[in-house]
Structure 1
Amino acid sequence: MSYQVLARKWRPRTFEDMVGQEHVLQALIHALDNQRLHHAYLFTGTRGVGKTTIGRLLARCLNCETGVTATPCGTCSSCQEIQEGRFVDLIEIDAASRTGVDDMRELTDNVQYSPTRGRFKVYLIDEVHMLTNQSFNAFLKTLEEPPEHVKFLLATTDPQKLPVTVLSRCLQFNLKRMTPEHIAGHLRHVLTQEGIPFEEPALWLLARAADGSMRDALSLTDQAIAFGNQKLSGSDVSNMLGTIDQSDIENLVDALVENDGPALLSEISRISDFAPDYSVILADLLSLFHRVTMEQVVPGSVDNALGDAAQVESLARRLSAEDAQLFYQAALMGRKDLAVTPDARMGFEMTMLRMLAFRPGADRREPPAVASGGSSSGQGVQESREDPEPGPAAPEAQPSEPVTEQAASEEPEQAVPEEPEQPEQAVPEEIASKAVAEEPEAGPPPVENDDAWLAILDEAAEAAGGEDYVSEPEPEQPPPQPTVPQAEEPVATEPERVEEPPATDEFFWERDFRNLGIVGMPGNLASNAAMTRNGDEIVLTIDEGHARLLNARHEEKIVEALRNRFGDTITLRVEQGDAGGKTPAAWEERQRQARQKAAEEAIRNDPAVQSIVERFEARVVENSIRPPHQAKSG
């Protein structure tokens, strides 16, 4: 007898043999038991989930010689003939090949005749969505009111293409995709019955490759048995599918967790010998990190859908929440980048190294200092400075060119030539250029008045303490030939005072925090905490939102910096609570706002600026004013 493929040999013979479609089977069994039968059923779902199989089983239930039942005998002539595919009253139609209206008219003409052998004449139409609109129109009336002895069983993988007039005439059942657990369990049963030795990882590889289709899983199993010479091993199945084994995924993740770069590159080099699909590997990593995050947020929620529940639970304990999120995002972006990288392996390596390099708290993130005359980055820059102490300057943006409300594309017609610095006053040359050049019809001031003209602008800059400001002239009015009066001495504006700590050598947490040199995430979290000290114990009070991000590695960095400043006997305790604004971050923000307000007041009240505004009908764009950078005291 010729060999029969597993997908046909293990086709379910009863409802009890069906796997994973309990919601459909329950409705059909109850309908059969209570004799509440519809004349048309529509089964939808992806390929290989059992649509046609359920149709044939339902035909047996309707035509079994013992009566209409959910448990046909399987021994009567009707059951045997249906099982063997030669029952005259079960008409199977492939709508993909018989789409014409003439074929449908032939079907409707034969519907009226009574069944030859069975109780019902059953029409099983597969891929019904392939019928033409004319065929559907010819079929609608018969589908709505068929004879009592006719049952229609329709199957499709794309119900969206069916007319609503067809959908409304049928009972619709949506068959689910098979889960990897269902597929692996069924494969385990089939291989045990077939006497084929197998390894458990091989079953999970086949289950995932089947992508929800039991028929595809059995077909792949047939292929794997031939590939492995009557046995299934994880390595053989992995080679056949062009994927990597689950243990390879575990090795990659272990190298990430241990911050072991050489081991990570070695593992990538090893698996590259199998020429795998790197996109599939990243998809497996995405699935793993997703389930790890679920287990971290909701402990006990992990399932064994991929046969790796124990690994997921272990990783959820070893990885921090931010590590899992970083790895997930890096894998997600890396999978998108694979399409544009020159080499798939290179793109995969960069993705994995990105996870390693940017892992929070990883010391290896900083590049090494340049030993020769070239410049270096990161810590190397700080070590090359003359002052070894880290600078306490606030992390503010560099001042940019002030912006006017005129179009930035306007080119100045003429620019004031650069003059030597006046002995008493100084002003950036771009102020003089802007004041004149933005006037479309204005020429330069007369030569004899250059000194007086520049003196006014110099005086304005000196009164503003070197602040950047800009005046916007009205383009319609050309400036008259100025006979500039002698400018008065500007009156300094008293800036708003901000609370300052006492001027002593004692360490003041809010002011002197930057001197501790805590950088990165630990520094960000510590700058949002209030500090109190009781002997050798330092207590940091931090709000709940920042406290959730604080982990053991962050605390180690903070303790190390505190001990460098106060001694090795210092201990740290972190409490959740309201910091009351007594944090370095809040103090620096108050300082910044005070400097900004003082700069705006100095520009607004400066006599020279007021003179320019009055003479040229210009106005100050306040949001372009930037205060000077001031290093924090301490």
Structure 2
Amino acid sequence: MAYQALYRVWRPQSFIDVVGQQHVTKTLQNALLQQKISHAYLFSGPRGTGKTSAAKILAKAVNCERSPVAEPCNECDACKGITDGSIPDVIEIDAASNNGVEEIRDIRDKVKYSPNVVDYKVYIIDEVHMLSIGAFNALLKTLEEPPKHVIFILATTEPHKIPLTIISRCQRFDFRRITAKDIVGRMSHIATESGVQYEENAMNIIARAAEGGMRDALSLLDQAISFSQDQVTVDDALTVTGAVSQDYLNRLGRAIMERDVATALGALEELLFQGKDPARFAEDFILYFRDMLLHQTAPNLEESLERVMLDDEFKELAGQIEPHQIYQYIDVLNQAGQEMKFTNHARIYLEVSIVKLCQMDAPKASGSPEVEEMMKKIGKLERELEQLKQNGVAIQGETNAPQAAKKPVRAKKGFRVPAGQIQEVLKSATKEDLNNIKSRWGDMVETLNQRQMRSQSALLNDAEPVAATSGSFVLKFKYDIHCQMAMENHAFTSAISSILEELTGSSYAAIGVPEDQWTGIREDFIRHSKSSDQEGPDKEEDSLLTEAEKLVGPDLMEVND
């Protein structure tokens, strides 16, 4: 007979063989004994955790000739027929390849017929989340009220993709990831029964690489058995899983702690020469320091360790590295791992991160000699300061403090207008510059919108240029808050200047002013300009303005350009 993989040969045939899912198997066994079988079940969980196996065991248990029983006997004709697939009343459907409406309609049409051989017709639909929406709708009514002789068992790795109307009609059981301890126990039993020699640590390495899936663990064990000669060793397990030996991790960890760059890079070079993946190594090294931190803070939680075995070298190293250093190591390695995902030079990032770890200056922990020395100096300075006070020497910081407290500085609210800059613009303002800006103002606003700055350009709805000279212009806003928001956004003002330069060929810097303050600044400028014109020896009076002032008086006059 052709060779069969271990996970097929050792597939669970009873609930007791389903490892790590006692919360599921216990519930199903009680329901079988009490004859409280539901019409529909939903088994969800990660791959390789026993969902389909539990479904077939349940199908055997409900149809066992000795029922009601907590476990199928696996000896009667019904149990043997379901195991070898010769009984047509237990139907396994792969929803990944049979996900259309027609397949589900075929089930709906045939479900009303009584079973041929056993008591219950059981439909096991694997990867049920792959069904289309139309297929789910076709299954809905049948799943809610099937005939008494029909049981549906749905299995999925992604329950969030199943409509809630389907989930609400099923009894849901969530399968958990299997712990490394349970996986090691099951693999050791299989290896012993198969006559395979192995090292205990090799089983631990394979179990941790399986990430909670029994099928993955047995597949890796199968590979390790084929790779090994007479015995599955730690090196065989490391080679098959692609993991890094803990000896190398210990060497690297000690070199980093001792800041020995040459030793650390030498160990890394050996690992990469063996064909280890840099990204996988970075992940292993993060888990190594994570386990070290966990061992320091909660040494009793050995089962929670992800990567390491508690050998003497690891325990010694864990006692010498401070927790705050481990935080830094994990941050650096995690950043390198993220960067390696988007580069073709992952090795360079890994080497740089190792050098960085070796050269890292750890923050001084409380209780270290440096901190104690610093505290002594601080205490000495405090005593000298107290002696100066007792001798009547005034301390400058303390004598000035009350005076400073008498005049608290109040924060000014609103936008502070640069009146001096505006006055300078008004002195040399020209209509040519102002018309140049106004003629392209609409184009400038449209360009802002095209550059995804719509929210900022909305501030210009009630704003207009009112004066301009070569190099700058005054931008009047209707509201003070709009002026403040626009002028304090340097990216926005820079965008206005650059766009105006593209449109007009001249560079203009915007000076913002609210409308109410612009009126006062402008009138003040006109008033001063008029007085200076009258005082100048070479200036002639404007006869028109003089006559107008005589007629209506200076208070009622307003001069517009």
Please report the TM-score for the alignment, with normalisation by the length of structure 1: 0.58
- Give the 3 Å change call, closer, same or farther, for CA 581–614 of structure 1 in structure 2: farther
Deviation of the 1:183 alpha carbon: 2.0
The correspondence of residues 200-215 of structure 1 with structure 2, limited to 5 A, is: 200-215=200-215
- Aligned position for 1:254: 254
**One-letter code of the match for 1:131?**
L
2:105 is the alignment partner of 1:289: no
Whole-angstrom CA distance in 1 between matches of 2:34 and 2:18: 21
**One-letter code of the match for 1:355?**
L
- Aligned position for 1:308: 309
Secondary structure of the structure 1 residue equivalent to 2:35? coil
2:172 is the alignment partner of 1:356: no
2:370 is the alignment partner of 1:554: yes
Whole-angstrom CA distance in 1 between matches of 2:385 and 2:59: 79
- Aligned position for 1:59: 59
- Aligned position for 2:476: none
- Aligned position for 2:110: 110
Whole-angstrom CA distance in 1 between matches of 2:396 and 2:14: 79
Deviation of the 1:7 alpha carbon: 0.7
Whole-angstrom CA distance in 2 between matches of 1:227 and 1:42: 39
The correspondence of residues 83-98 of structure 1 with structure 2, limited to 5 A, is: 83-98=83-98
- Aligned position for 1:101: 101
- Give the 3 Å change call, closer, same or farther, for CA 121–197 of structure 1 in structure 2: same
**One-letter code of the match for 1:118?**
V
> Among 318, 321, 346, which residue is 2:320 paired with?
318
- Aligned position for 1:196: 196
Contact 2:90 2:124 (8 Å CA) reproduced: yes
- Give the 3 Å change call, closer, same or farther, for CA 64–268 of structure 1 in structure 2: same
Contact 1:46 1:157 (8 Å CA) reproduced: yes
**One-letter code of the match for 2:328?**
L
Q: Deviations over 1:455-494 (max 9, x none)?
A: xxxxxxxxxxxxxxxxxxxxxxxxxxxxxxxxxxxxxxxx
Whole-angstrom CA distance in 1 between matches of 2:282 and 2:231: 29
Deviation of the 1:147 alpha carbon: 0.9
**One-letter code of the match for 1:99?**
N
**One-letter code of the match for 2:154?**
L
Give structure 2 stretches of 5+ with no counterpart: 387-394, 410-417, 424-561
Deviation of the 1:236 alpha carbon: 2.9
**One-letter code of the match for 1:351?**
S
- Aligned position for 2:459: none
Secondary structure of the structure 1 residue equivalent to 2:81? helix
Contact 2:129 2:156 (8 Å CA) reproduced: yes
Deviation of the 1:346 alpha carbon: 2.1
- Aligned position for 1:79: 79
Whole-angstrom CA distance in 1 between matches of 2:340 and 2:219: 30
Contact 2:5 2:222 (8 Å CA) reproduced: yes
Contact 2:255 2:358 (8 Å CA) reproduced: no
Contact 1:204 1:307 (8 Å CA) reproduced: no
- Aligned position for 1:167: 167
> Among 349, 353, 366, which residue is 1:347 paired with?
349
Deviation of the 1:592 alpha carbon: 8.3
Deviation of the 1:599 alpha carbon: 12
Whole-angstrom CA distance in 2 between matches of 1:176 and 1:592: 65
Secondary structure of the structure 1 residue equivalent to 2:129? helix
Whole-angstrom CA distance in 1 between matches of 2:33 and 2:274: 54
2:157 is the alignment partner of 1:157: yes
Deviation of the 1:299 alpha carbon: 4.8
- Aligned position for 1:68: 68
Q: Percent identity?
A: 36
Deviation of the 1:108 alpha carbon: 1.0
Q: Deviations over 1:65-118 (max 9, x none)?
A: 011211221111111111212222111111111112121111111111111111
Contact 1:74 1:80 (8 Å CA) reproduced: yes
- Aligned position for 2:231: 231
Deviation of the 1:262 alpha carbon: 2.7
- Give the 3 Å change call, closer, same or farther, for CA 614–185 of structure 1 in structure 2: closer
Deviation of the 1:327 alpha carbon: 1.3
Deviation of the 1:270 alpha carbon: 1.4
- Aligned position for 1:181: 181
- Aligned position for 2:333: 331
Secondary structure of the structure 2 residue equivalent to 1:318? coil
Give structure 1 stretches of 5+ with no counterpart: 361-520, 523-548, 563-571, 584-589, 605-612, 619-634
- Aligned position for 1:219: 219
Q: Aligned-residue CA RMSD in angstroms?
A: 3.5
Contact 1:205 1:245 (8 Å CA) reproduced: no
- Aligned position for 2:276: 276
Contact 1:239 1:274 (8 Å CA) reproduced: no
- Aligned position for 2:22: 22
**One-letter code of the match for 1:89?**
D
Q: Deviations over 1:597-621 (max 9, x none)?
A: 99999xx9xxxxxxxx999999xxx
Whole-angstrom CA distance in 2 between matches of 1:581 and 1:167: 76
Q: Deviations over 1:389-416 (max 9, x none)?
A: xxxxxxxxxxxxxxxxxxxxxxxxxxxx
